[in-house]
Structure 1
């Protein structure tokens, strides 16, 4: 608990409260409009495939509470909070290619241009291809003059975004718009990426990079290519823009590489996520981010918390009346569990973007109820031992041996159910499964490391181990009457034998 709250208070600049989901705090909505090269409406299969990949990217961010829905020919992404950057990143086409660099020059400012009236998306793409692409059989010199004419302003919408022909030469801008490149046809397709992850470069302080590993033919091609092209620049293009263009310093013997650029931690993780789960079958134009209100609101949050608090107080009152001192230990254990859950939720919100919605609160309440069940199993096992005539002190270790198997089994069933729901479901149901699984794990931690040691300590105290103090006076009286009855029976048998 100390470690958790040291991390809460002394690491990061995040809030000391858990992040709330869309249904409780509202969110930011971005509409993605499909852009097809021929200007026709996208097919249903293309939209379904794009939606599936974006949902995988959402899952790759953790339990973030984001939603992806199809609306006609558009995809609508909603993320919790007011930051629309994450939604736009989720909708990135992510068509990555590795291309050799033929030439690179500094970009020159261009006068703002507007598309001709009535020009369609298909016409804009065709015009851009005519100016900035050439077949692999053509001489690249034909495109050199275009280097000085290309508008590399990052604010300008690139018609070729996600629509360039990878088998042709390409004039492309850098991400920051400072350089313009002449690139040869692709040598590696982004579909040959096996995995991608964000990390820091050990050779430079704090520089964020994306580690990419290749599969299929690229797995063997990349080490061979780098060995034969030492000293040459190779560009990694993402959606027709150059993300990174490093110089090959030596042969790379492993089927992996590092993609560097002006990445922050957030942008590196976003890029790794979209590369890991594949490119979209369509390119999209994103709308301005719009803030939407909570679907349920703080009133529902307040009602859920009040319901949980009432249930918790009722459980504690029952435990205190029925188990007395053991009920007091139950209260301490539940408080410890609640404090741990709160701290972990804050940390998860900072690290993986976990958001707490109403279904997640339901999972927490059910999990805490299951923790109380574990206490009941333990205490009833102790009562069983005392009914057989043992003292409270000797009943505790024997009852624990019998109870822990039941506690393990019950929590294992609960965790398996939570895991199955988490991996098979989507949306808010995953949040419910996540919090249920989290509280199930903490139940075992609390029962084994808090409740049982406290009960053992109580059993060693002359005062606390008295049956009337631990709420087991009735059980002790039953055991006493059984012993007396047994003694009387034995005495009668002896007298009758005489």
Structure 2
């Protein structure tokens, strides 16, 4: 009849206590948040008295996980960026030019001399050869540079197309390769933006793709949209280029295959460098702030196997020649290669401050953005607006909570009080789980909790109405309670499974606020079923074992 094993009782109460303890830090949100920030700072080496005092605001043995507040509750920055995918086409053509040049150098007897047309579109390499009769031979050689596209949509197509007429040969990306490149560029930009924001240590950012070439970025708790743009807007494209010479101004002609770039530190100094780099920042595997032999801030870097080989080979063959370290088309430094540098490690020096060297290391570790970002929309949501949303959500939840509590007591008396206790535990369990998994609470998420408060009562209403029916049918108190729970179980499970499926679909198909609603709704369904079936029943059984009533009123 009304029997619950001791081990089951212990597990139920342990689950409730664990949920309550996990939810407790949210009642002291500011204090625990300062404690967490101070502990993180101490672990990074900032062991100051101020941080020690803030870390002591909350016991270390207590749970310290918090529910992260979303952009609409905490305030923060919102950006919508468009990835300029066309920039990648130009970079691809510049990288392809050395291969084109080298493959045609041995065919001068057939094609004569050749040169690249500087007026060609950025997504093309246009060559003019001096012997038109060698056009077919040159095109045949260049077609050997084509590679098959490794995507399902581009199956059977090559990455470049070669066309020719008269004495002109045009090399350009195929349409299938452009589609694959666009998708790859946006995905790479998305991942790099996520790395950069994660490096700064912001809480629960929303970074997701919108449409074909746009990225939505929402970061709670950050000061302004301008601050967010400063974090993610820098391309940080690092390259190592051979130095051809110096120029007097940026307008000076550099020659085919070269370009003029300014010096970052020395105003009015310009370098002529080869446009095709020896090594790029994409081959970096690590970058850390450091100090040079003179105690000045610098950045240590390390290449992967491919980059290390190319870097080592070049330094071996060009001892005594200057070598430019270029960041975003500005020469950081142009040291002379003193000796062979094996191993792929080096140091970037310049007139850095400690903060600048740290930020540069972060940007280089995160990788270079493959294309420029154009910010189409930017908003800064102040914490005051977020606080208003929190207050509105708190009032809505309190009104719903009190209304349900009063209704249950008036409708079901003592059993309604048991249901109310389970309801309070239910809400605490939701916050406890959100804190444990590091979930984000948004304004729609609060709506999900309010909806859960109403849904949690549905299960108890079904149970209590079944108990009423059993009592009217002449069952005794123990039998009526037992049958009420057993007969209501299938209806409770069926109703909540269908709603949970809806929550899963919302989470899978939705984004942003919709996901926040789906998370709290899904968690609320799980916790409400647990509290209705196990917690409420345990409370009723404990009361019944103690009082042994001859009759019950539901």
TM bucket normalised to smaller: 0.5 to 0.7
1:324 partner SS? helix
Which residue of the other structure, out of 210, 214, 220, is the alignment partner of 1:80?
Answer: 220
Please, which runs of 5 or more residues in structure 2 have no aligned partner? 1-15, 26-31, 38-63, 92-120, 124-177, 239-245, 266-272, 290-297, 310-341, 349-357
CA contact (8 A) 2:76 2:222 kept: yes
1:78 partner SS? strand
Q: Per-residue deviation at 1:410?
A: 1.8
1:26-105 superposed matches below 5 A = 26-29=75-78, 36=87, 38=90, 64=204, 66=206, 75=215, 77-82=217-222
CA contact (8 A) 1:65 1:355 kept: no
Distance 1:167 1:369, change over 3 A: same
Deviation digits for residues 441-475 of structure 1, max 9, x if unmatched? Answer: 1112212331111122233344666334xx3xxxx
Distance 1:54 1:412, change over 3 A: farther
Q: Per-residue deviation at 1:411?
A: 1.8
Which residue of the other structure, out of 419, 423, 443, is the alignment partner of 1:358?
Answer: 443
CA contact (8 A) 1:77 1:87 kept: no
1:408-427 superposed matches below 5 A = 408-427=493-512
Q: Answer yes or no: is 1:394 the counterpart of 2:479.
A: yes
1:409 partner SS? helix
1:390 partner SS? coil
- Higher mean alpha-carbon deviation, 26-35 vs 415-424, is at 26-35
Q: Per-residue deviation at 1:305?
A: 2.3
Between Structure 1 and Structure 2, how many residues are aligned?
343
Task: Output the CA distance in 2 between the equivalents of 1:125 and 1:33.
Answer: 30
Deviation digits for residues 364-422 of structure 1, max 9, x if unmatched? Answer: 11122111111111111212222221012111112211122222222211221111110
Q: Answer yes or no: is 1:327 the counterpart of 2:467.
A: no
Q: Answer yes or no: is 1:404 the counterpart of 2:489.
A: yes
Q: Answer yes or no: is 1:307 the counterpart of 2:396.
A: yes
- Higher mean alpha-carbon deviation, 316-325 vs 49-58, is at 49-58
Which residue of the other structure, out of 433, 446, 454, is the alignment partner of 1:344?
Answer: 433
Q: Per-residue deviation at 1:286?
A: 9.8
Q: Answer yes or no: is 1:2 the counterpart of 2:17.
A: yes
1:44-443 superposed matches below 5 A = 64=204, 66=206, 75=215, 77-82=217-222, 174-176=287-289, 177-179=298-300, 185=306, 233=343, 282=371, 292-293=381-382, 297-348=386-437, 352=438, 354-443=439-528
Q: Per-residue deviation at 1:22?
A: 1.2
- Higher mean alpha-carbon deviation, 53-62 vs 32-41, is at 53-62
Distance 1:54 1:381, change over 3 A: farther
Task: Output the CA distance in 1 between the equivalents of 2:494 and 2:474.
Answer: 28
Distance 1:30 1:454, change over 3 A: same
Give the TM-score normalised by structure 2.
0.48
Q: Per-residue deviation at 1:41?
A: 9.9
Q: Which residue of 2 aligns with 1:194?
A: none
CA contact (8 A) 2:76 2:383 kept: yes
2:218 partner SS? strand
2:36 partner SS? coil
Distance 1:30 1:311, change over 3 A: closer
Q: Which residue of 2 aligns with 1:444?
A: 529
Task: Output the CA distance in 2 between the equivalents of 1:355 and 1:175.
Answer: 31
Deviation digits for residues 103-161 of structure 1, max 9, x if unmatched? Answer: xxxxxxxxxx9996579xxx999568xx9xxxxxxxxxxxxxxxxx999xxxxxxxx9x
Deviation digits for residues 14-67 of structure 1, max 9, x if unmatched? Answer: 678633211222113567685736389999997776556666887999994625
Q: Which residue of 2 aligns with 1:252?
A: none
Task: Output the CA distance in 2 between the equivalents of 1:86 and 1:346.
Answer: 26
Task: Output the CA distance in 1 between the equivalents of 2:282 and 2:503.
Answer: 51
Which residue of the other structure, out of 36, 48, 60, is the alignment partner of 1:13?
Answer: 36
- Higher mean alpha-carbon deviation, 43-52 vs 307-316, is at 43-52
Distance 1:167 1:94, change over 3 A: closer
Task: Output the CA distance in 2 between the equivalents of 1:24 and 1:41.
Answer: 45
Task: Output the CA distance in 2 between the equivalents of 1:329 and 1:165.
Answer: 73
Task: Output the CA distance in 1 between the equivalents of 2:307 and 2:190.
Answer: 28
CA contact (8 A) 1:396 1:459 kept: no
Deviation digits for residues 81-121 of structure 1, max 9, x if unmatched? Answer: 1279998888898999xxxxxxxxxxxxxxxx9996579xx
Q: Per-residue deviation at 1:304?
A: 2.6
Task: Output the CA distance in 2 between the equivalents of 1:309 and 1:359.
Answer: 16
Q: Answer yes or no: is 1:24 the counterpart of 2:73.
A: yes
Q: Per-residue deviation at 1:174?
A: 3.5
Task: Output the CA distance in 2 between the equivalents of 1:381 and 1:115.
Answer: 92
Please, which runs of 5 or more residues in structure 1 have no aligned partner? 97-112, 132-148, 152-159, 189-231, 241-261, 472-498
1:480-495 superposed matches below 5 A = none
Distance 1:393 1:376, change over 3 A: same
CA contact (8 A) 1:23 1:295 kept: no
Q: Which residue of 2 aligns with 1:199?
A: none
